[in-house]
């Protein structure tokens, strides 16, 4: 989902609530507005530490903590999501 400013998020939430409470919108449109409202109300997901791969050979590769890294530890991601209340199927 796109990152919205607080003003944009507030405007989208108000618009979705207006559609849901309106008499003119079809049930299908209201359902879409409900889904959008639920998505906008979700807090952002916090991710764990990022890592970079180091080493010159596949057998020597290891991860190093790096705020600009391209890797995550799978188990850390799963644990972080579960801590935030998300169900993770492995």
Query: Could you write out the DSSP letters of every residue in the chain?
Result: -PPPPHHHHHHHHHHHHHHHH-SSS-HHHHHHHHHHHHHHHSPPPPP---EEEE-SSGGG-EEEE-TT-SB--HHHHHHHHHHTT-----
**One domain for residues 34 and 59:** no
**One domain for residues 33 and 57:** no
Residue 73 has pLDDT above 70, yes or no: yes
Over range 17-26, report the average pLDDT: 93
Domains: count for the chain: 2
The verdict on residue 46 lying in a domain is: no
Print the domain residue range for 25: 6-41
The verdict on residue 32 lying in a domain is: yes
pTM beyond 0.75, yes or no: no
The verdict on residue 89 lying in a domain is: no
pLDDT of residue 33: 93
The verdict on residue 88 lying in a domain is: no
The verdict on residue 1 lying in a domain is: no
């Amino acid at each position: 989902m796109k990152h919205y400013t607080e003003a944009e998020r507030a405007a989208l939430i108000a618009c979705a609530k207006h559609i849901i409470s309106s008499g003119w919108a079809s049930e299908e449109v209201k359902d879409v507005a409900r889904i959008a409202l639920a998505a906008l109300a979700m807090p952002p997901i916090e991710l764990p530490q990022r890592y970079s791969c180091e080493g010159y050979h596949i057998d020597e590769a290891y991860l190093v903590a790096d705020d600009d890294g391209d890797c995550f530890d799978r188990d850390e991601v799963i644990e972080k999501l579960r801590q935030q209340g998300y169900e993770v199927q492995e």
